[in-house]
Structure 1
Amino acid sequence: MFSCLRYGTSDSLSGQCSKLVRSYTLHVILCSNVEMATHIIVATVLVFLGCCTNVIFLELLVKEHPGCTNLITFAQFLFISLEGFIFATNFGKRRPVVPLKHYVTLVVMFFMVSISNNHALSYDISMPLHMIFKSGSLIANMALAVVLLRRRYPLSKYLAVLMITVGILICTVASVKDGGKETGTTKSEDSTTYTKCIGIGLLLFALLLSARMGIYQETLYTRYGKHPRESLFYAHALPLPGFLLLVPNIYTHAVIFNQSAPLPLPMLDSIPRAWVYLLLNIITQYVCIRSVYVLTTECSSLTVTLVITLRKFVSLLLSIYYFQNPFTLVHWLGTALVFAGTLLFTGVLLPAPHVTESKTKEQ
């Protein structure tokens, strides 16, 4: 197509060549945009389908078998590790771009975050409260970014953080007070409150550590570039030996799973329902995580944050209506503050100027 550039220098010939070049460039851009838009749309749809259905199967398992979260976490890590070993590392033949020592540091944090988040459900933490509390990740990220990366934010960002903080506190206090009423058991009020406080403590620890992990990932991406599939594999494969510490608990709940009643469905009437729920949870978790990683490579962080925020809201509504989780007017007030604050933080409600950052790099 560019052979016309070899001949002569006449204006007409040069003009024709310029038109061809512009036409070809426009065609490439349009094709690229269409392909990128397709990836974004598909990934967004899969985020909603994968993450929202994952919450349903997780809650089914936790309600029927309290304390099984370690088994769920192990199964998720094992599945994603096997998939990554085959496709991300080509059966171990492909060397990692990011040095393993950095992945080890990242993995220790990721493992502790996953265990803490899932184990919190064993301490009388409802799924709506679990999801609302995790929505406070913006607070922790912002606080650590100010301290570690010396970032400075506009006033609207700080206002958003205040709204999210107040919203989470409202929901947390309301859930603790309603704890005894929700269970309907003979547990004392002090016992129920103490149990919930342990769960909330685990969620708070996971929230802060997850924020620190995000900052560490940001520095790695800046230094070595983005390699989402590689990161996904090592983040799940390297922690697997850590589950040896949880073998007794995992084995106990595997036996309990074997004793669960089968589903009244064709071809599944001989399989314990808990294992069916676990398999569906693993698959939907993989779809959820992979889709989020695709969005991080195709979209801005603002778009990704908005998609995840809307997904959390849909998951919350599903949990409330499908499982009849107690949700009072106070809970709705806290939820409204959390999501309004999130939208304000991302600049949807009030566009904000760019964030300033010092030249000091986080190590």
Structure 2
Amino acid sequence: MGLSRTTVHVFAGCCSSAFLMEILMARKPSSANLVTFLQFFFITLYGFIVTTKFGLIGPKIPLKQYVILVALFFITTVANNYVYALHVPTTLHMIIRSASSPASMLVYCCVKKQYPKLNNAVGSILISIGVALAMYGGAPTDEGNKGTFLYWSIGVTILLATLITGAFTGIQQERLYSKYGKHPNEMLFYTHAIPMPVFLGIYPQLKDTSADLTADTWFLIALNILTQFYCTHSVHNLATKETSVTVTFILTIRKFLSLLLSSIMFKNNLTVYHVIGTVLVAIGTYVYFDFFTSRRQGPVSMKDK
């Protein structure tokens, strides 16, 4: 029953956040950095009040141990939000992010110096083919619009790079959990609080963007911030109760549900390549994670939320 409630919370929070983010990016693509900043600010403020009790409770994990994790998490989060402004369709965005399995396998093999198992390799190949088909189907077809295609190419490159940084984020998170114990609320707070000064570097952009927003756009941003916090908090709670396999499976279903809702609500151009790619990603994810069902799993990575 606990799993059922938590799973419902994950679906409700993450699907709502993705739905609102797509509306925001359709209206104001340049607001991606502002939305990211406000998400970080809200989670930081909540964590300072609830988790640290206004700074009276110190961290269980030494702050210096967060440096690498925070850098990887911040780069991955900001980059994933920024590509919305580079003409990468939300459909393609979600399918590429579903390819975290082959990226994690590649990074794990390099770091641990181990060859992948058969299930890992087969699942990763299926997912990679599915992502490639989705990329092909999502590419702009107007050959005369070179600027759009260039931005699209840059956006896809950034998304593929964040798969790698996200995989390293998961490895670093697992290392800290194994060494210092599980402290999901603390980690949620510090991974958002420590990068806050970085936003000072784009303060002029944030100021100009905020001054150009309408009241209804601010309302959508507020809803997105709340649902994103609900999503992130629910994923961290689920990670403390269930194995990585269960969490990843639930989050993968959530991504495909978001994809389906996006196609229905926004009438996105869902080509046959997207459909075939999505099916291959789903099958590949099942094959890949089926290998881990008999093994003890570590915590879910923050890149999956």
Question: Which TM-score band applies after superposition, normalised by the shorter structure?
Answer: over 0.9
Structure 1 segments of 4+ aligned residues over 6 angstroms from their partners: 350-353
Distance 1:67 1:50 in 2: 24
Instruction: Determine the structure 2 residue equivalent to 1:330.
Output: 273
Partner SS for 2:30: coil
Residue segments in structure 2 that go unaligned for 5+ positions in a row: 297-305
Instruction: Determine the structure 2 residue equivalent to 1:73.
Output: 36
Residue 251 of structure 1 and its aligned partner are, at CA, apart by 1.2
Distance 2:167 2:196 in 1: 22
**Cα contact 2:68–2:172 (8 A) shared by 1:** no
Residue 354 of structure 1 and its aligned partner are, at CA, apart by 5.1
Residue 152 of structure 1 and its aligned partner are, at CA, apart by 4.1
Q: Does 1:50 align with 2:6?
A: no
Residue 247 of structure 1 and its aligned partner are, at CA, apart by 1.0
Q: Does 1:188 align with 2:144?
A: yes
Provide Cα deviations, 1:11-35, integer angstroms capped at 9, x if missing partner.
xxxxxxxxxxxxxxxxxxxxxxxxx
Residue 150 of structure 1 and its aligned partner are, at CA, apart by 3.1
2:212 aligned to which of 250, 256, 268 = 256
1:339 aligned to which of 282, 289, 298 = 282
Distance 1:112 1:285 in 2: 18
Q: Does 1:110 align with 2:73?
A: yes
Distance 2:68 2:119 in 1: 34
1:222 aligned to which of 178, 182, 207 = 178
Instruction: Determine the structure 2 residue equivalent to 1:308.
Output: 251
Bigger proportion of residues as helix: 2
- Max radius of gyration: which structure? 1
Residue 191 of structure 1 and its aligned partner are, at CA, apart by 2.1
Provide Cα deviations, 1:187-240, integer angstroms capped at 9, x if missing partner.
833222211011111111211111111111111111111100000000000000
Q: Does 1:201 align with 2:183?
A: no
1:123 aligned to which of 77, 80, 86 = 86
**Cα contact 2:73–2:191 (8 A) shared by 1:** yes
Instruction: Determine the structure 2 residue equivalent to 1:269.
Output: none
Distance 1:208 1:113 in 2: 9
2:224 aligned to which of 281, 287, 295 = 281
Percent identity at matched positions?
38
Provide Cα deviations, 1:280-335, integer angstroms capped at 9, x if missing partner.
00010011011100111000111101110110010010111111111111110011
RMSD: 1.6
Partner SS for 1:68: helix
Instruction: Determine the structure 2 residue equivalent to 1:267.
Output: none
Residue 351 of structure 1 and its aligned partner are, at CA, apart by 7.7
Alignment of 1:27-176 (within 5 A): 37-38=1-2, 40-176=3-139
Instruction: Determine the structure 2 residue equivalent to 1:27.
Output: none
Distance 1:277 1:291 in 2: 21
**Cα contact 1:116–1:205 (8 A) shared by 2:** no
Partner SS for 1:165: helix
Task: Give the 3 Å change call, closer, same or farther, for CA 151–60 of structure 1 in structure 2.
Answer: same
Partner SS for 1:67: helix
Residue 177 of structure 1 and its aligned partner are, at CA, apart by 4.0
2:239 aligned to which of 268, 284, 296 = 296
Partner SS for 2:285: helix
**Cα contact 2:51–2:185 (8 A) shared by 1:** yes
Q: Does 1:244 align with 2:200?
A: yes
Normalised by the length of structure 1, the TM-score is 0.79
Residue 104 of structure 1 and its aligned partner are, at CA, apart by 2.0
Residue 256 of structure 1 and its aligned partner are, at CA, apart by 1.5
Aligned AA for 2:187? S
Distance 1:43 1:286 in 2: 14
Partner SS for 2:53: coil
Residue segments in structure 1 that go unaligned for 5+ positions in a row: 1-36, 181-186, 261-271, 356-363
Partner SS for 1:105: helix
**Cα contact 1:156–1:352 (8 A) shared by 2:** no
**Cα contact 2:245–2:292 (8 A) shared by 1:** no
Residue 174 of structure 1 and its aligned partner are, at CA, apart by 1.5
Partner SS for 2:146: helix
Q: How many residues align?
A: 296
Provide Cα deviations, 1:88-137, integer angstroms capped at 9, x if missing partner.
11111111011101112211111111111011111001111111111111
Task: Give the 3 Å change call, closer, same or farther, for CA 255–337 of structure 1 in structure 2.
Answer: same
**Cα contact 2:103–2:163 (8 A) shared by 1:** yes
Distance 2:76 2:273 in 1: 28
